[in-house]
Amino acid sequence: MSKELLYYVQDHAFNIFIILTWISIITLSLGFTIINPEYISTMNYYIKIYVSLYLMYRFNMFRKIQFTDLDRKIVFSAAVFIFTTTALDKYLLDNISTVESQLKALLGLQVKRG
């Protein structure tokens, strides 16, 4: 596989991954769950492992690399991902039912019984 093709595939796969991740984070923070909240911690764990292994492989001190735009996107997205999952993960998982019920009440989706 040529370097150009590999770069193209990695760039587009990474863009799709980032879009799906942000959609999941935004919908979870709004109280709508695409992914079962029980799986989010497990998913975040494996994504952090993947990100750290990729960064260690790509930027190890034994390689001479040329820093590309894809590298810049990956490093920035990795930093944002680690920050958001560390800072927001516990809050969102602990408060998902509260946020969800408040949002449903606000949108009139909650059935009132009485």
pLDDT in tens, 57-76: 888 888 787 888 888 888 88
Q: Rounded to the nearest 5 degrees, what angle is found at the Cα of 8, between the Cα atoms of 27 and 78?
A: 45
Give domain status of residue 74, yes or no: yes
Judged against a pLDDT cut of 80, whether residue 78 lies above it is answered with: yes
Q: What is the pTM of this model?
A: 0.53
Q: Which domain holds residue 75?
A: 3-106
Instruction: Confirm whether 93 is domain-assigned.
Output: yes
Structural domain includes residue 114? no
- Tell me the torsion sign for CA atoms 12, 16, 17, 21: positive
Residue with tokens 């911690």: 41
Mean pLDDT in residue range 85-114: 68
Domains contained in the chain, number: 1
Residue 112 included in any domain: no
The dihedral region occupied by 100, where left means phi > 0, alpha psi between -120 and 50, and beta the remainder, is alpha
Tell me what pLDDT residue 114 has. Answer: 43
113 lies in some domain:
no
| 109 has a pLDDT exceeding 60 | yes
45 located within any domain: yes
Range 96-103 contact pairs with CB under 8 angstroms and sequence separation of 24 or more? 96/28, 96/31, 96/33, 96/37, 99/29, 99/30, 99/31, 100/31, 100/32, 100/33, 101/31, 102/31, 103/30, 103/31, 103/32
pLDDT at residue 113 is higher than 70:
no
Summary mean pLDDT of the chain: 75
What pLDDT digit, counting tens, does each position of 85-94 carry?
Answer: 777 777 766 7
Per-residue pLDDT, 99? 67
In a domain, 37, yes or no: yes
